[in-house]
Chains A and B, each alone.
Chain A
Amino acid sequence: MTRQAYTYYPGCSLQHRSHAYESSNRNVAQALGFDLVEMDDWNCCGATEYFSLNRLPAYALVARNLARAANEGADELVVPCSACFLNLHKTDKQMAQYPDLARSVNQALAAGDLHYTPGTVRVRHLVEVIISDIGFTELATRITRPLYGLKLAAYYGCLIARPDSIFDSTEHPTTMDRLFEVLGAESVPFALKTFCCGGHMAQISAETGFEMIHKIVKNAAENGADAIVTVCPMCQLNLDVYQNSANKLFDTDYQVPILFFTQVLGLALGLKPSDLGIGQEFVDAMPAINKISEVPPPKPKRERRDKQALPMPVMPE
């Protein structure tokens, strides 16, 4: 059962370049009947950058948030950004796993009169909160505008699938695909659903980054996706903002809009595109949104089994 209110850590990205995510999160939360209460005076998680420079301050930076959340009395912290999620989750986990690390981190925190006992705050990603706490059955009853005819590629990115998957699998999770089906949309096969978007690579070694972006967009487009749906502002930024640069490098012209999962969820809940920050993306999402049909698409005919063909391995439910 969903709570009334969750302690919320938005992360820096949602404050500037990913406003769209922030507004769609807030409006979807409201529509689903829970509050996201922003924790007081949170700081940046350090992204992937700080760990490269200096390990202990990096952990301390993250742990300040955990300690403050714990002081607020939070036993859960909901995070919409995959990078923030990973850093917070990993710090909590590793502090529990490695007492030496916990000791040093707490020694540093003590300089700010803080202390964090690992395990106090359960770090959760927003997508997992919505899917597990509300659940597919309940969500299905809230859908007012099913996304019939819309073909979506569920892009999980790395950091919620790895190192510890919050879903079913680190390699090929299917939970979000099921969400799309609940929303009335079709989930397209997408081999690169957990392939990395390149992170900061677009900044520091553009060609490496663009190649990764291009692979993802290509694979989604070739599987007929109208849009790629992400759960992470970094993934959205890379795939969206650099899509044309990647096109240029590989001489292609993919135009696959990149949406946040709360944006498509919001649409299905009947919210207006403008309330969901749609329009802030570089690759225009409106052509895709306009494809949404009033009526469900006809059920694809079950292909008759070829007499000669060998059976596929039986998958358990």
Chain B
Amino acid sequence: MSDKRVGVYVCHCGHNIAGTVDVEHVAEWAWGLPNVAVSRDCQFMCASLGQDMIEEDIREHGLTHIVVASCSPHMHEKTFRGACERAGLNPYLFEMANIREHASWVHPHDKDGATDKAKALVSAAVHRVLQQQPLEPLQVDIRPETLVVGGGIAGIQAALEIADAGFPVYLVEREPSIGGHMAQFDKTFPTLDCAACILTPKMFDAGAHPNITLLTYSEVEQVDGYVGNFTVRVRRKARHVDESLCTGCGTCWEKCPKKVIDTVFEAGMGYRTAIYRPFPQAVPKYPVIDTENCTYYQTGKCKICEKFCPTEAIRFDMEDEYVDLEVGNIVLATGYDIFDARRIPQYGYGRLANVFTSLEFERLTNAAGPTEGKVVLRDGVTEPRSVAIIHCVGSRDKNTNEYCSAICCMSSLKFDHLVMEKTGAQVYNFYIDMRPIHKGYEEFYHRILDEGTQFIRGRVAEITDAAHSPEEEGKLIVIAEDTLIGRQRRVPVDMVILAAGLEPRADAQGVAHMFGVGCGDSGFFTERHPKLDPVATMTEGVYIAGACQGPKDIPDSVAQGAAAAARILGVIFRKQVALEPIRASIDESRCSGCRICNTMCPYNAISFIEELSVSRVNPALCKGCGTCVAACPSQIITGAHFTFEQIMAEIDGILVDVHTAPPEHTAVEAV
């Protein structure tokens, strides 16, 4: 151990650390730690001056290990590893002590405590670094194919960007057509252009692109492998229509006698047939048979579609197929679900007929929707003369979802305009705060104000049909405190639109699990860094785009789709990617073959070699979590960079000032 020479650098971070922690004292004290050959304090370690100092000391003082006490390793570990590398030192012989986020910033009123803690953390890092080994990152090749999961606007954008750059893309969509939620909308804020007009060309491009393989009515079932080399199993649900023969002429669905409520595309507001194409602009144009509702599958009779199909494309015996795709990178763009407004029973959705959700209203107002764009009450004929739009339904509410759904203010303003344009009804908006925060949004708000909408600042307490006065009879009464006047108000209206929030897809947890990404508190997929890395995830090679990452509107979804594509293109062009060498390895000469570790690995990186009766780790599959390392009762699995010896040294180091001395001899009573 004597030939090891540790350099310790304690950062002031301006006043950030030095304001609380006695930085000079810590640096002085660190001279006394084992093998410390250099200990200095510095204003800003991350600045070039600080980095240069490390490099010079390595060269001049022959330092073999480096400790920097500054901020979180999530902030600058890479920076300092780079400095070590430039000076010819293996970057894994560097260790960081987090004395800013974990000390100075959280103990501002306890300078002594913060200084003691900083000393303990520095000591821990010094003890640990002495045990660290040089490691080499793992280089893996990147396949050029990309999988995009989800054919909404974010997924379409990502697929097109990559395909246009000349690389193959598989675009998987669970519904019969790509298009996503955007295809359900009529107008888009704030410009009020028609959603179909701007979406359809993109859908067509995606469908016709030579580099894009469209896998609609399909779902990913299994993901194996790692960045550059994923193997993905996709289930292609049986369409029961032979795509090579179908011309999309529409005879089948025109003849189909079975009508069912379309809860997906029409949001429960309209009907479709058992063999159906969700909407006229669908891509691909082929219909599917919904076997749960098709009369033939229920009773064995009917087959009318088959009879009328001019190209004999109907295939009742078609079965689900599986295809295995080899891809280098994955974009998750699985979108969102709309908040189920029944979870706020006081708003009466599902009980009071004329309470609609925003998605229902989108269909109502869509020229291709069930009412051909007429805004009417649930009876299908009556035009409302007064409409209330309730903001923040299932958003900003600890009882449902605590987050802001980001799009409801703007879509409510859009509804205001559409209702007034189509019916001339008086519109009331009940809101907590208005948040029109992007370019052109505030202007749109002003326009709607000009158009004569009433804005009542107050979260709606309840919506009831229990009238208290003649003018309330037969109406829906919206009860809220108008917080601007501090009085309770009862506003009778004909129609209520609930601006329901956005939620993670119901199966988001399962999808996250399958692709190895995390879900935050809200259930949306977690990005690698909320500010600086918003489309990458903790799993190398898996990216996220669109509303699966958090509520967002169309422009943001498109931007994220493109951003994910740009990240992936960068990786594809590099052809190789370096992986952190934090990997487990088994000393096979000492493995007893007890197989405790075999069930531990979530990535199936551990296999049991029967003939040798030992277990083995596939380093490319291992993600370095260390659960097998902890499990091994023989202690012969090594978790690189988080070895037993390193962590034990860190524990001893962190308690350097409280190491319990051998107990003093105490008098013992006579027996």
Interface residues of A (CB under 8 A from B): 169-172, 191-192, 215, 219, 306-315
User: How many whole Å from A252's CB to the nearest CB in chain B?
Assistant: 12
A309 and B466 contact, Cβ closer than 8 Å, known pairs A171-B345, A314-B268, A315-B342 = no
Contact A314 B263 (CB under 8 A): yes
Contact A215 B378 (CB under 8 A): no
Q: Which of A172, A192, A308, A310 contacts B345 (CB 8 A)?
A: A172
8 tightest A-B contacts by CB?
A308-B380, A191-B466, A171-B345, A172-B345, A171-B346, A309-B380, A219-B466, A313-B350
Check if B574 is an interface residue, CB within 8 A of chain A. Answer: no
Contact A172 B351 (CB under 8 A): yes
Contact A215 B379 (CB under 8 A): no
Contact A315 B466 (CB under 8 A): no
Cα A309 to Cα B376 with chains together (Å): 10
User: How many whole Å from A300's CB to the nearest CB in chain B?
Assistant: 18
Enumerate B598-628 residues with CB–CB distance to A below 8 Å: none
Residue of B nearest to A312 (CB): B353
User: How many whole Å from A167's CB to the nearest CB in chain B?
Assistant: 12
User: How many whole Å from B615's CB to the nearest CB in chain A?
Assistant: 45
Q: Mark B258-278, 1 if CB is under 8 A from A, else 0.
A: 000101000011110000000
A-B contact pairs, 26 of them (CB 8 A): A170-B345, A171-B345, A171-B346, A172-B345, A172-B346, A172-B351, A191-B465, A192-B464, A192-B466, A215-B468, A219-B466, A306-B379, A309-B378, A309-B380, A310-B270, A310-B364, A310-B380, A311-B261, A311-B268, A311-B270, A313-B268, A313-B350, A313-B360, A314-B268, A315-B342, A315-B350
Q: Which of B263, B350, B364, B381 contacts A312 (CB 8 A)?
A: B350
Contact B350 A308 (CB under 8 A): no
Cα A307 to Cα B269 with chains together (Å): 13
Q: Which of A170, A308, A312 is the most central at the interface, judged by chain B CB atoms within 10 Å of its CB?
A: A312
Residue of A nearest to B263 (CB): A314
User: How many whole Å from B345's CB to the nearest CB in chain A?
Assistant: 4
Check if B370 is an interface residue, CB within 8 A of chain A. Answer: yes
Check if B371 is an interface residue, CB within 8 A of chain A. Answer: yes
A310 and B468 contact, Cβ closer than 8 Å, known pairs A169-B345, A172-B345, A315-B342 = no
A residues in contact with B466, CB < 8 Å: 191-192, 215, 219
Cα A192 to Cα B464 with chains together (Å): 9
A308 and B353 contact, Cβ closer than 8 Å, known pairs A171-B345, A219-B466 = no
Residue of B nearest to A170 (CB): B345
Cα A131 to Cα B468 with chains together (Å): 33
Cα A306 to Cα B468 with chains together (Å): 30
Beyond the given pairs A312-B378, A313-B268, A314-B268, 4 more chain A to chain B contacts, judged by CB atoms under 8 angstroms and listed by A's residue number, are A215-B466, A310-B364, A310-B376, A315-B342
Cα A47 to Cα B654 with chains together (Å): 56
Contact A306 B380 (CB under 8 A): yes
Check if B349 is an interface residue, CB within 8 A of chain A. Answer: yes
Cα A308 to Cα B269 with chains together (Å): 11
Q: Mark B315-358, 1 if CB is under 8 A from A, else 0.
A: 00000000000000000000000000010011001110100010
Q: Which of B271, B364, B379 contacts A308 (CB 8 A)?
A: B379
Cα A172 to Cα B350 with chains together (Å): 12
Residue of B nearest to A216 (CB): B466
Interface of B is mostly: loop
Residue of A nearest to B346 (CB): A171
Interface residues of B (CB under 8 A from A): 261, 263, 268-271, 342, 345-346, 349-351, 353, 357, 360, 364, 370-371, 376, 378-381, 462, 464-466, 468
Contact A308 B381 (CB under 8 A): yes
Residue of A nearest to B343 (CB): A169
B residues in contact with A306, CB < 8 Å: 379-380
User: How many whole Å from B658's CB to the nearest CB in chain A?
Assistant: 29
A residues in contact with B261, CB < 8 Å: 311, 314
A residues in contact with B342, CB < 8 Å: 313, 315
User: How many whole Å from B338's CB to the nearest CB in chain A?
Assistant: 12
Residue of A nearest to B267 (CB): A313
Cα A191 to Cα B349 with chains together (Å): 13
Cα A187 to Cα B370 with chains together (Å): 34
A residues in contact with B346, CB < 8 Å: 171-172
User: How many whole Å from B36's CB to the nearest CB in chain A?
Assistant: 46
Cα A170 to Cα B349 with chains together (Å): 15
A residues in contact with B462, CB < 8 Å: 171
Cα A307 to Cα B351 with chains together (Å): 20
User: How many whole Å from A258's CB to the nearest CB in chain B?
Assistant: 18
B residues in contact with A219, CB < 8 Å: 466
Cα A308 to Cα B381 with chains together (Å): 7
Residue of B nearest to A195 (CB): B466
Cα A192 to Cα B462 with chains together (Å): 11
B residues in contact with A215, CB < 8 Å: 466, 468
User: How many whole Å from B268's CB to the nearest CB in chain A?
Assistant: 6
User: How many whole Å from B343's CB to the nearest CB in chain A?
Assistant: 10
Residue of A nearest to B380 (CB): A308
User: How many whole Å from B347's CB to the nearest CB in chain A?
Assistant: 9
Cα A308 to Cα B270 with chains together (Å): 10
Residue of A nearest to B352 (CB): A191
Cα A172 to Cα B351 with chains together (Å): 10
Residue of B nearest to A172 (CB): B345
B residues in contact with A170, CB < 8 Å: 345
Contact B381 A310 (CB under 8 A): no
Cα A312 to Cα B353 with chains together (Å): 7
Cα A192 to Cα B351 with chains together (Å): 14
User: How many whole Å from B292's CB to the nearest CB in chain A?
Assistant: 14
B residues in contact with A311, CB < 8 Å: 261, 268-271
Residue of B nearest to A211 (CB): B468
Residue of A nearest to B381 (CB): A308
User: How many whole Å from A32's CB to the nearest CB in chain B?
Assistant: 31
A residues in contact with B381, CB < 8 Å: 308
User: How many whole Å from A51's CB to the nearest CB in chain B?
Assistant: 24
User: How many whole Å from A184's CB to the nearest CB in chain B?
Assistant: 24
Cα A219 to Cα B473 with chains together (Å): 12
A residues in contact with B270, CB < 8 Å: 310-311
B residues in contact with A310, CB < 8 Å: 269-270, 364, 370-371, 376, 378-380
A residues in contact with B465, CB < 8 Å: 191
Cα A169 to Cα B376 with chains together (Å): 31
A residues in contact with B364, CB < 8 Å: 310
Cα A311 to Cα B261 with chains together (Å): 8
User: How many whole Å from A212's CB to the nearest CB in chain B?
Assistant: 11
A residues in contact with B468, CB < 8 Å: 215
Residue of A nearest to B353 (CB): A312
Cα A192 to Cα B479 with chains together (Å): 13
User: How many whole Å from B526's CB to the nearest CB in chain A?
Assistant: 30
User: How many whole Å from B15's CB to the nearest CB in chain A?
Assistant: 38
Residue of A nearest to B378 (CB): A310
Q: Which of A172, A311, A315 is the most central at the interface, judged by chain B CB atoms within 10 Å of its CB?
A: A311
B residues in contact with A313, CB < 8 Å: 268, 342, 349-350, 357, 360
User: How many whole Å from A166's CB to the nearest CB in chain B?
Assistant: 16
Residue of A nearest to B462 (CB): A171
User: How many whole Å from A123's CB to the nearest CB in chain B?
Assistant: 23
User: How many whole Å from A185's CB to the nearest CB in chain B?
Assistant: 21
